[in-house]
Structure 1
Amino acid sequence: MTTTGAHQDATGTPPRTWLWWGRRRSAVLDIGLALVSAVECSAEAVRFTAQIGASTSFGAVFGLLIGSLLVLRRQWPLAVVLVSIAITPAEMGIGMTMVGLYTLAASEVPRRIIGILSGMSLTATLIISFVAVRHDVQSSQLDDPGVWYVPIMAGFIAVGLTVPPVLLGLYVGARRRLMESLRDRADSLEQELSLLADRAEERAEWARTEERTRIAREMHDVVAHRVSLMVVHAAALQAIALKDPQKAVRNAALVGDMGRQALTELREMLGVLRAGDGGQRRTGQVPLAAVAVAAAAAAAAAAEDGGPRIADVEDLVGQSRQTGMVVELAVQGEVRAYAPEVEQTAFRVVQEALTNVHKHAAGAKVLVRLAHRESEVAMQVENGAPDAAGSAADADLPSGGNGLVGMRERVLALGGVFVSGPTDAGGFRVSAVLPHRADV
C-alpha cells in the first residue's frame, strides 16, 4: 500500500518546530541566504553613502539590517519584495530581489499580485540599469556604441534579474501544489482501499454465513427424510420380526435402499463442496464468496443432471406409503418441465412436509396436491390430526425445529410464496407457490 507523507507524520516521530520553518535545513538555508544578502547590501550601502557623502558606518549598519530581512522570505514574501523594490534606486539588494521574487512566485499569493510586484521590480531595475549603463558609456573612453546600445543592455539586465526567478518560482510552486494534490489523492485512495477491505470482509462474512446456512439446509433436507423413513421402518421391523419374518425381510431391504439413497445424495452434496474449493485448497486460500457461488451453480447443475424433480414426488409418496402412512396424491394441470431450481425446491418442500408428518403426526392421513398453472407451480401438503396409536408413535423421532424455516428460505429465495400453519381439524398444512422461472 502506498505510504504518504500524512501517514509518516501519523506514525513517525512528530517534526520539530522551527518557528515558521517546517524543517531544519529550510531554516539553515534562509539564515545563510540572509547572511549573504546582509553582506552584499552592507557593501553596496557603503559604496552608495560614499558617493553621496553620507556616513559609511550608517550605510554599513543599514545594509546589514535590510539584507537580513531575507530571513523572513517564507513568512512574508510580499514585504521582502517591497523592501527590495524600495532599495533598488540605491543599487542595493540584487540577490535579495532575485530570491524574493522567486519566493513570491512560488508562494500561494494570487497571480495578479505576483504580476504587479514583478512588473514593479522589472520597471525599477530597468530604470536603474538604464542610468547605470549610460553613465558607464559616458565615462568610458570608447567610441559611441549607438543609440540603441543603452536601452538594449538595460533591458537585458532587467529581464535577466527579474524574469528567471519569477518563472522558476512559478514552476516550483506549481510542482509543489501538484505533489500535495497527489499526496492528498494517495491518502484518499488509501482510505478508500481501507473501506473496500472492510466491505470485502463484511461480504466474506456474509458469504460464510450464507454458505453455512445453505449447507445446513441441504444436510437437513437430504438426511432428515431418509433417516426418518429408516427409523419408522426399523421400528416396524422390530415389531414384526418374530411375527412375520417375510415382511421383516422386506422392511430390512427397504431400510437398506433408503440408506443407500441417503448416502448417494450426501456424496453428491459433498462433491459440490469439493468442486467449490478444490482449486484453492492447494494454495491454502479459499475465497468464501467464490465457494458459495460455485456451490450454488454446482447444485443447480446437479438438479439439471438428475437431481430431485417434481416428477419424483410420486416415488416420494410411495416411500411414505410403504411405512403404513395413508397418503393421497392429487395432480392438477398439465405436467411440464421447470427451471432446475424450481424443480428441486418443489421436491424439497414436499419431502420436508412429509418428514414433519412422520415426526409429529404419526398415523395421520395426508393429502399432497400439485397444481401446474400457466406461470407457476403450487404444492400443498395437508395432514389430519395425529393418531396416537400410529405405527410411528414409538419411533421417537427427534426434531431440530428448522424444517419450516428451511422451506420458507428456499421458496422466498426463488421469489415464491410460502404459508404454513395448523388447520381447523387439528392437522397441519404447508403451502408453497413457485414461479415458472427462478427469480433469485
Structure 2
Amino acid sequence: MTTTGDDRTTAMTGPWWWERWRGAALDAGLAALSAAECGAEGVAFARDAGLPVPVGVGFGVLAGAALLIRRRWPIAVVLISIAITPAQMGVLLTVVGLYTLAASELPRRIIGALAGMSMAGTLIVALVRANQDMAEGSPSIGSEFIPFFAVTAAIGVTAPPVLLGLYVGARRRLVEGMRERADSLERELQLLAERAEERAEWARNEERTRIAREMHDVVAHRVSLMVVHAAALQAVARKDPEKAVKNAALVGDMGRQALTELREMLGVLRTGDGTKAKAERPAEPPLAAVAFAAAAAASRAVDEDGPCLAELEELVGQSRATGMAVDLSVEGEARDCSAEVEQTAYRVVQEALTNVHKHAAGAKTHVRLAYRSAEIAMQVENEPPPEADASSDARLPSGGNGLVGMRERVMGLGGVFVSGPTDGGGFRVSAVLPAAA
C-alpha cells in the first residue's frame, strides 16, 4: 500500500516540518558542516572588515546554520547564501540551498531568478578576488584568463546543484504521480468490485424473481384446474359416473402436465453439461461472472423451452374442459415474435384465466389477442360469476402475487399493463407488448 495526499500527512513521524527523523538528522548534519565552514571563513572576513574575530565567527555560524530550515523555507536559505557571497563564505550553503530550491515545487521563474542572482554574485566575487590577488602580486593566472576563471567558478558552483535539483524534483513528481495513479486505480478497482458484487446480487435477485414467477404460473394454473376438476368430480361422482371418470382422467392429465413443466423449470437451474464442466473446469471465474452466466443461461433456457402463442388455443381448451365458457378471438395476421414476448403474452392469459377460476368460477370469459404493426395486445375479461353452487365452489387459495407477477413481466419488456373491475361487475386484464423485446 502506498501513502499519498492526506495519507502521507498522517504518515509523517518526524519533528516539526520533517516527514521522518532521518530527514531531520540529515539537515542537522548539513547545518553543522555549513556552520563550521562559515565560522572558519568568518575569521578572514572579520580581519578584512576590521571586526572582532568572535563577531565574524558568530556571523558565519548563524549564516551556515540556515541549512536547518532548507526544506521549509528554501528561498530564505538561497537569499542568505547570496547575501554572504561578498564575504567569501558559504559554498556548502550555496550548493545545498540551490539544490533544495530547484527540487522544490516552486515555480520555475522563481528558481531561475534566484539561481541567476546566485551565479551573478559568485561571478562578481570571483572577479574581485582574482583582481585582488593579482594586485597583491600573488602568483596566479594571467589577466586575460580572469574572466574565464570567474565564469567557470560561477557556473561550477551554481549549475550542477540546480540541474541535479531539477532532475530530482522531476523524478519525485513522477514517482508521486505514479503512486497517486496506482492508488486511484486501486480505488477504482475496489469500486468496480463492489459494483460487480451489487450487480451480481441484483442478477441473483432478478433470476429468483423470474423463476418464482414461472413456477407460480405453472403450478397455480395446473393445480387450479386440478382443483376445479376435483370439485366437479366430487359433485357428479354419484349422479353421473361416466362424467366422473372423465373428470378423473382430466385431473390425472393436469397433474402429469404440471409435473412435466415443473421438471422443465427445475432443469433450467442445472447445467446441461455438468459432467463435462467438472472434468474440464478451469480456474474459478469471479462471482459476478458466475451470477451473470447463470442468469443468462436460465433466461435463454426459459425463453427457448417456454410456451408460445401457438399453444393459446390449447390453453383455452383446458379451461373449457372444466366447464368454463371461454371465447377466443384473434385479430390481425398471426406472426412469429420473439420467444420472450410470446412467452410473456401466454403467461398473462394463463394467469388471467387462473384468476377467473379462483375468484369467478363459472363466469363467462372473453380472451382477445390482437396482432398490430409493432405490438401485440391481449385482453382477458370475465363477466360477473353466477351464483355459487357445489360444482363451482372449489375453495381455491390465492397468494396475491398473480397480478404483481403479470405486471412485472409486462413492464420488464417495456409494455403496458392495466387491470381492474369492469362496470358490469366483472374483471378485466389488459396488456400491450412490443413485438420485438
Q: Distance in 2 between matches of 1:374 and 1:52?
A: 106
Q: How do 1:246-395 residues align onto structure 2 when only pairs under 5 Å count?
A: 246-275=242-271, 283=284, 286-287=287-288, 288-302=291-305, 307-390=306-389, 392-395=391-394
Where does the alignment leave 5 or more consecutive residues of structure 2 unmatched? none
- Equivalent position of 1:182 in the other structure: 178
Q: Can you list the C-alpha shifts for 1:151-190, whole angstroms capped at 9, x where unaligned?
A: 2222222111110111111222222333333344444444
In structure 2, the partner of 1:169 is 165
Give the AA of the match of 2:262.
L
1:94 paired to 2:91: yes
| SS of aligned partner of 2:429 | strand
- Going from structure 1 to structure 2, the CA distance change for 1:392 and 1:22 (only over 3 Å counts) comes to farther
Q: 2:61 aligns with which of 60, 64, 71?
A: 64
1:172-211 equivalences under 5 Å are: 172-211=168-207
Q: What residue in structure 1 maps to residue 25 of structure 2?
A: 28
Change (3 A) 1:66 1:6: closer
Relative to structure 1, is the Cα distance of residues 299 and 431 closer, same or farther in structure 2, using a 3 angstrom cutoff? same
Shift of 1:97: 0.8
Hey, what does 2:40 align to over in structure 1?
A: 43
Question: Which structure 1 segments of 5+ residues have no match?
Answer: none
Change (3 A) 1:389 1:82: closer
Residue 286 of structure 1: how far off its partner (Å): 4.8
Q: Map of 1:101-120 to 2, 5 A cutoff?
A: 101-120=98-117
> Hey, what's the Cα distance between the residues in 2 that align with 1:93 and 1:331?
103
- 2:412 is matched with 413
**What is the rounded CA distance, in whole Å, between the counterparts of 1:228 and 1:285 in structure 2?**
42
Which aligned pairs between 1:145-164 and structure 2 lie closer than 5 A?
A: 148-164=144-160
Q: Report if the CA contact (8 A) 2:231-2:392 is conserved.
A: no
Per the TM alignment, residue 14 of structure 1 is displaced from its structure 2 partner at its CA by 5.4
8 Å contact kept, 1:6–1:187: no
The more displaced of 92-101 and 108-117 is 108-117
8 Å CA contact retained: 1:368, 1:380? yes
Aligned residue for 1:329, secondary structure, equals strand
Residue type at the aligned position of 2:216: H
Give the 3 Å change call, closer, same or farther, for CA 118–277 of structure 1 in structure 2: farther
2:360 & 2:224 partners in 1: Cα distance? 13
- Separation (CA, whole Å) in 2 of partners of 1:231 and 1:392: 11
- Secondary structure of the 1:274 match is coil
Q: Quick one: percent identity of the two aligned structures?
A: 66
**Which residue identity is paired with 1:436?**
A
Deviation at 1:70, TM superposition (A): 2.0
Residue 210 of structure 2: aligned partner: 214
Using structure 2 for the length normalisation, give the TM-score: 0.88
Stretch of structure 1 that moved more, 307-316 or 188-197 = 188-197
Measure, in 2, the Cα distance between the counterparts of 1:255 and 1:420: 30
Partner of 2:125: 128
Is the CA contact 2:4–2:180 (under 8 Å) kept in the aligned structure 1?
Answer: no
Q: 1:7 to 1:78 in 2, by over 3 A?
A: closer
